[in-house]
Amino acid sequence: MEKLTTLGYYNGAYGPLEEMTVPMNDRVCYFGDGVYEAAYVANYNIFTLDDHIDRMYRSAALVEIEIAQTKEEMKAILRDLVTKVESPNQLLYWQVTRGTAMRNHVYPDPAVPANFWVTIKPLPVKNAYQKVKLITADDTRFFHCNIKTLNLLINCMVSEKAKRAGCDEAVLHRGDRVTECAHSNVSILKDGALCTAPTDNLILPGITRAHLIANCKKLGIPVIEEPFTLDDLRNADEVLISSSTAFVRSASEIDGTPVGGKAPELLKKIQDAMRQEFIDATGIAPSEVPDKA
């Protein structure tokens, strides 16, 4: 079969993403009732797949969604689907929703099976060494941010606010405490240490954040998992943004004011380690992964 440019999958059926349809009574259409994951695919290898699968099943359990597939069955489906797309470098997105039933706030009968969606599109490897511009915004989301649910309206609103300000990402805060960004985690380097918010209910336990911590520990860089403030953010030696599709990038400004730039050698050491981990895990050619801005 000829490979597809993009791919959509729904409960076993798949085809070009633009041509796929889903039932209107899928509960995602009314309530965003589901959980999701997204991972980068390089050289047809899904980076950190086991970590993403584990987090999806944790999220599903916290909202009482029974996933029809075992972890191994889900991984097998995803690994098969990425081979059906023409580009070897892709954004792989998948979600599980609480089944298809007439609109009702209470859950449907337990016999109603969950729905499994997948979308795949080409995505070149992003340059993690390029600086980003940030704005700050009040974190007005709910108190279950540790669950990777499909309820992302506030994230969309602040992302649009960042775009209109000519910025790449929005850093959220509750009062003076920095939590995370609209679609990434935020950490700082200060006095030779990595400082990152604890994984409580106010942030998502990011996969790249976890690998950032692990790489820092391998490099002998102290890691402090404690809340930090907006002043800490603005006065940091470096401000780091981590996500599954852009790895670890640093900020050049926040709310129009320059930040960071005080620990470039330490920053590059961390970014180089993250880059090498990605190359080793996926087998992608090093020439395809930028090594400088």
**Confidence grade of residue 191 (pLDDT, cut at 50, 70, 90):** very high
Concatenate the DSSP letters of all residues of 135-197 into one string.
EEEE--S-S-TTS-BS--HHHHHHHHHHHHTT-SEEEEEETTEEEEESSSEEEEEETTEEEE-
Residues of the chain above pLDDT 90, percent:
100
Report the pLDDT value the prediction gives residue 98, as an integer from 0 to 100: 98
- pLDDT confidence bin for 4, thresholds 50/70/90: very high
Q: What is the pLDDT, as a whole number, of residue 258?
A: 98
pLDDT of residue 226: 98
* Mean pLDDT to the nearest integer, 86-92: 98
pLDDT reading at 174 higher than 90: yes
Residue 162: its pLDDT value, please?
Answer: 98
Instruction: Tell the CATH superfamily of the 132-288 domain.
Output: D-amino Acid Aminotransferase, subunit A, domain 2 (3.20.10.10)
Q: Any idea of the CA torsion for 208, 211, 212, 213, to the nearest 10 degrees? A: 130
Amino acid 102: pLDDT: 97
Residue tagged active-site, from 75, 121, 131, 148: 148
Domain boundaries, the chain: 7-122, 132-288
Would you state the pLDDT for residue 47?
A: 98
- From the options 3.10.580.10, 3.30.470.10, 3.40.50.620, 3.40.50.150, give the CATH code of 7-122: 3.30.470.10
Per-residue confidence at 246, pLDDT binned at 50, 70, 90? very high
Instruction: Assess whether pLDDT exceeds 90 at residue 35.
Output: yes
Q: What is the pLDDT of residue 195?
A: 98
Can you tell me the mean pLDDT for 166-178?
98
Tell me the whole-structure pTM to 2 decimals: 0.96
Q: Is 148 a catalytic residue?
A: yes
Instruction: Convert the pLDDT of each residue in 256-288 to its tens digit.
Output: 999 999 999 999 999 999 999 999 999 999 999
Q: Is the pLDDT of residue 89 over 90?
A: yes
| pLDDT given for residue 181 in this prediction | 98
226 contact partners, CB below 8 Å, separation of at least 6: 195, 197, 198
pLDDT, residue 82, reads: 98
Q: Pairing relation of β-strands 169-174 and 132-138?
A: parallel
Report, as an integer, the average pLDDT of 227-255.
97
**Mean per-residue pLDDT, 91-102:** 98
The mean pLDDT value for 223-236 works out to 98
* Confidence band, pLDDT 50/70/90 cuts, at residue 1: confident
CB contact at 8 A, 175 and 163? no
User: If you average pLDDT over residues 64-79, what whole number do you get?
Assistant: 98
Give the mean model confidence (pLDDT) for residues 85-99.
98
Task: Give the residue-averaged pLDDT of 76-102.
Answer: 98
Whether residue 282 contacts residue 47, with contact meaning beta carbons closer than 8 Å, is answered with yes
Question: What is the full DSSP assignment across 24-86?
Answer: TTBTHHHH--EEEEEEEEETTEETTHHHHHHHHHHHHHHTT---SS-HHHHHHHHHHHHTTBS
